[in-house]
Amino acid sequence: MKMLLELLRLMRPHQWVKNGFVFTGLLFGHAWRDTALVMQVVVAAIAFSLVSSCIYIINDIADREQDRSHPKKQNRPLAAGTVSVNSAVVLAVVLAVTAFALAYWVSVTALWIIVGYALMNLAYSFHFKHVVILDVFIIAAGFMLRILVGTLGVDIPPSQWLLLCGLMVTLFLGFAKRRAEIIALTEDKTSHRRVLEHYSPILLDNMIVITAAGLIMSYSLYTMNPDTIRIHGTANLIYTVPFVMYGVFRYIYLLHHQSGGGDPSRDLARDPHMLIVVGGWLLATLWLIA
């Protein structure tokens, strides 16, 4: 039982909340009444969860020596030695095969998107995570592929505004993650992630400010866009903008004063303000467009 729990922890199921991006097209495409389509999106989200867990395992295998010098990551199963490398490899293969099979059931397009996500993340793990700025753009691209598998993968046309907002929020989270890593590794920031030597606090703070402003502005313009008003039948989505603004500002506060920002999934689960604002935004949005 203990080994099963360690294998489950190796999969990082708490990170599956990120795959909520897969449901974006279902929500903003007004497709939630189509039962068959909902089932396709749910299966696509499961496939993305499994393949992302596979990538996490591969990353942990590759980084296990570096993780042992990290104040938090040293407790991960591979770094701590509670799971063997062989067991991790077998689990990664099972997860990948299952994910690809589920994606193929959804559509060939969904399969190619998930295969592309896996290949991109392997390239990231073994090279591009050391390339300054590009590393964050690849992280953002992973979230964009989640949106695309829940739109193009199930024949829901993706909104350009939706993609722009998604890009801004994922870049914001990516640069915040790098800033949190620098805060956590103030004494020897290069011992865990080499790319951190190319980042400085002021550089990352500037990028966070730019992407935060881009996120708020792009979402605000989306709510006022004539096509958005026509599709959703309401001009009142503008009233959800304060939720977005508060969430962004709260996240920046957590980054600088509560040792947050390194893991959005944990920050969302642990901070009541983030839970309330995200829940409030979701309920208000559903009420307005449904």
Cβ–Cβ under 8 Å, residues 235 and 229: yes
Long-range contacts, stretch 133-142, CB < 8 angstroms, 24+ apart: 135/178, 135/195, 136/171, 136/174, 136/175, 136/177, 136/178, 137/171, 137/174, 139/170, 139/173, 139/174, 139/177, 140/167, 140/170, 140/171, 140/174, 142/117, 142/170
Nearest to 209 by CA among 258, 249, 262, 261: 249
pLDDT score at 50: 94
Tell me the per-residue pLDDT of 234-279, one tens digit each, with 9 for 90 and over.
Answer: 899 999 999 999 999 999 998 888 776 566 777 777 888 989 999 9
User: Is it the case that residue 196 has pLDDT exceeding 90?
Assistant: no
Go through the chain and tell me how many residues it has: 290
Instruction: Check the CA dihedral 99-101-102-103 and report its sign.
Output: positive
User: Is it the case that residue 66 has pLDDT exceeding 60?
Assistant: yes
Tell me the per-residue pLDDT of 130-184, one tens digit each, with 9 for 90 and over.
Answer: 889 999 999 899 989 999 999 999 988 888 888 899 899 999 999 998 888 887 7
pLDDT band (50, 70, 90) for residue 190:
very low
Q: Give the tokens for residue 127.
A: 């090279």
- Say what percent of the chain tops pLDDT 70: 90
